[in-house]
Structure 1
Amino acid sequence: MDGIGIGVNPDPFNAVVNSHRPTITAIENRGLNFSLLAHGTHVGLPDDELMGNSEVGHNALGAGALINQGATQVQDLIKSGKFGESPVLQEIIGHVRERGSALHLIGLLQRERSVHAHTDHLKAIVDAAAQGGANRIYVHGLTDGRDDPEGSAIDTVRDIEDFLKSHETGERVCMMASGGGRMVMTMDRYWADPEMLKTGWETHVKGIGRQFESGVRAVEAYYRESGNGSDQYCFPFVIARDGQPVGRIKDGDAVIFFNYRGDRAKEISKAFEDEEFTFFDRGAKPDVIYAGLLSYDPDENVPSRYIVQPPDIKGTMGELLAGEGISQLALSETQKYGHVTYFWNGNRAEKFDEKSETYIEITSDPVPEFKFKPWMKAAEIASRTVEEIRRGTFRFGRINFANGDMVGHTGDYASAATAVSAVDLGLHWILPAIEAAGGALIVTADHGNAEEMVEHDSKGNVKYGKNGVAKVKTSHTTNPVPCMVYAPGLKISAAESKSPLTIRNVAATAFNLLGYEAPVYMDPSLIRIEG
Structure 2
Amino acid sequence: MEKKPVVLIVMDGIGINEKSDGNAVKNAYTPTLDKLWATCPATAIAAHGEAVGLPSDGDMGNSEVGHNALGCGQIYSQGAKLVNESIASKAIFQSEIWTSLVKNAKDHTLHFIGLLSDGNVHSHISHLIAMINQAKAEGLSKVRVHALLDGRDVGPRTGEIYIKQLEEEMAKLNDSSFDARIASGGGRMVVTMDRYEANWKMVEDGWKIHVEGEGRQFANATEAIETYRKELDLDDQYLPGFVIAENGKPVGTINDHDSVILFNFRGDRALEISRAFDNKDLPFIKRNKYPSVVYAGMLEYDGDLHIPNNYLVNPPKIEHTMSELLAKENIHSYALSETQKYGHVTYFWNGNRSEKFDNNLEVWQEVPSDIVPFNQRPWMKAAEITDLLIEAMKSKKYQFLRVNYPNGDMVGHTGDYAATIIGVESVDLALTRVLKVADEMDYTVVITADHGNADEMYQKRKSEDAPIIPLTAHTLNKVPFIIYNNDVKIKEGNFGLSNVAATIVKLLGLKPHEKWNESIIK
Q: Report the TM range for the smaller structure's normalisation.
A: 0.7 to 0.9
Cα offset for 1:245? 9.6
Partner of residue 433, structure 1? 437
How far apart are 1:157 and its partner, in Å? 6.3
Code of the aligned partner of 2:471: K
Q: Check if 1:354 corresponds to 2:359.
A: yes
Match of 1:23 among 28, 32, 36: 32
Counting only pairs closer than 5 Å after superposition, residues 117-266 of structure 1 correspond to structure 2 as: 117-119=124-126, 122-124=129-131, 127=134, 135-138=140-143, 140=145, 173-178=177-182, 186=185, 188-191=187-190, 248-252=252-256, 253-260=258-265
Q: Secondary structure at the match of 1:494?
A: coil
Q: How does 1:97-136 map to 2 (within 5 A)?
A: 97=106, 100-105=107-112, 116-119=123-126, 122-124=129-131, 127=134, 135-136=140-141
Q: 1:444 corresponds to which residue?
A: 448
Name the amino acid aligned to 1:117: H
Q: Cα deviation per residue 1:335-393 (whole Å; 9 max; x = unaligned)?
A: 222111110010011111223x3223233243322333332222232222222223322
Report the CA distance between 1:18 and its aligned residue. Answer: 2.4
1:89-126 CA distances to partner (integer Å, 9 max, x unpaired)? 455345435xx422133568889999942535643576
Q: Which residue of 2 aligns with 1:222?
A: none
SS of residue in 1 equivalent to 2:12: coil
Q: In structure 2, how many angstroms separate the alpha carbons of the residues matched to 1:371 and 1:517?
A: 43
Q: Distance in 1 between matches of 2:217 and 2:37?
A: 57
1:329 CA drift (Å): 1.6
Match of 1:421 among 407, 413, 425: 425
Q: 1:436 to 1:276 in 2, by over 3 A?
A: closer
Paired residue type of 2:15: G
Alignment of 1:356-371 (within 5 A): 357-371=361-375
Question: Cα–Cα, structure 1 residues 114 and 202, in superposed 2: closer, same or farther, change >3 Å?
Answer: closer
Deviation per CA, 1:490-512: give whole Å up to 9, x if none: 3x212122xx3222221121122
Give the direction of change, closer, same or farther, for the CA distance of 1:94–1:156 in structure 2 (3 Å limit): closer
| Residue of structure 1 in register with 2:77 after alignment | 68
Given the superposition, is the C-alpha separation of residues 311 and 504 from structure 1 closer, same or farther in structure 2, using an over 3 Å criterion? same
2-side partners of 1:84 and 1:376: how far apart? 44
Inter-partner Cα distance in structure 1 for 2:253 and 2:355: 38
Say which SS state the counterpart of residue 456 (structure 1) adopts.
Answer: coil
Shift of 1:244: 12
Check conservation: 2:334, 2:401, Cα contact below 8 A: yes
Question: In angstroms, what is the RMSD of aligned CA positions?
Answer: 4.8
Matched, 1:3 2:13: yes
Match of 1:226 in 2: none
SS at match of 1:92: helix
Match status 1:471 vs 2:480: no
SS at 2:354 equivalent: coil
Q: Secondary structure at the residue paired with 2:260?
A: strand
Q: Which residue of 1 aligns with 2:8?
A: none
Structure 1 residues 300 and 366: CA distance shift in structure 2, 3 A: farther
Alpha-carbon distance in structure 1 between the residues aligned to 2:520 and 2:444: 14
Report the alpha carbon displacement of residue 39 of structure 1 after superposing the two structures with TM. 1.7
Name the counterpart of 1:315. 320
Q: Does 1:506 align with 2:500?
A: yes
For 1:496, which of 481, 492, 498 is the aligned residue? 492
Whole-Å Cα distance in 1 between the matches of residues 87 and 127 of structure 2? 9
Greater relative CO (CA pairs within 8 A, separation 6+): 2
Letter paired with 1:57: G
**Which residue of structure 2 aligns with residue 483 of structure 1?**
481
Higher mean C-alpha displacement, 105-114 vs 69-78: 105-114
Instruction: Give the CA deviation at 1:68.
Output: 1.0
The residue aligned with 1:345 is: 350
Measured in 2, the distance between the counterparts of 1:188 and 1:455 equals 21
Question: TM-score, normalized by length of structure 1?
Answer: 0.72
The residue aligned with 1:393 is 397
User: Which 5+ residue runs of structure 2 have no aligned equivalent?
Assistant: 1-10, 192-201, 223-235, 237-241
Alpha-carbon distance in 1 for matches of 2:434, 2:340? 21
Aligned amino acid, residue 406 of structure 1: M
Q: Where does residue 388 of structure 2 map in the other structure?
A: 384
Change (3 A) 1:76 1:164: farther
Mapped contact 2:111–2:254 kept (Cα < 8 A): no
Contact 2:12 2:63 in 1 (8 A): yes
Q: In 2, Cα distance between the equivalents of 1:299 and 1:383? A: 31
Aligned positions, number:
472
Aligned counterpart in structure 2 of residue 324 of structure 1, from 323, 329, 335: 329
Q: 1:125 to 1:333 in 2, by over 3 A?
A: same
C-alpha distance 418-112 of structure 1, shift in aligned 2 (>3 A): closer
Report the residue type matching 1:350 in the other structure: E
Q: Which residue of 2 aligns with 1:54?
A: 63
Looking at structure 1, the residues matched to 117 and 369 of structure 2 have their Cα atoms a distance apart, in angstroms, of: 38
| Amino acid in the other structure paired with 2:507 | L
Instruction: Find out whether 1:527 has 2:521 as its counterpart.
Output: yes
Q: Distance in 2 between matches of 1:348 and 1:115?
A: 19
Name the amino acid aligned to 1:425. Answer: L
Distance 1:456 1:244, change over 3 A: closer
AA aligned opposite 1:511: V
Cα separation, partners in 2 of 1:68 and 1:366, compared to 1, 3 Å:
same
**Counterpart secondary structure, 1:409:** helix
1:182 aligns to what?
none
1:457 maps to: 460
CA deviation map 1:445-468 (0-9, x unaligned) = 11112223x33127696962xxxx
Q: Residue type of the partner of 1:186?
A: G
**CA displacement 1:249-284 (0-9 Å, x = unmatched):** 342122324354689989998998999779xxx9x7
Between stretches 426-435 and 286-295, larger displacement belongs to: 286-295
* Counterpart Cα distance in 2 of 1:60 and 1:394: 22
Task: Summarize the Cα distance change of 1:304–1:371 in structure 2 as closer, same or farther, 3 Å threshold.
Answer: farther
What secondary structure, in the 3-state scheme, does the structure 2 residue paired with 1:307 have? Answer: strand
- For 1:66, what is the secondary structure of its paired residue? coil
Larger Rg: 1
Structure 1 residues 485 and 35: CA distance shift in structure 2, 3 A = same
How much does 1:311 deviate? 2.4
| Contact 2:217–2:248 (CA under 8 A) maintained in structure 1 | no
Work out the percentage of aligned pairs sharing the same amino acid. Answer: 37
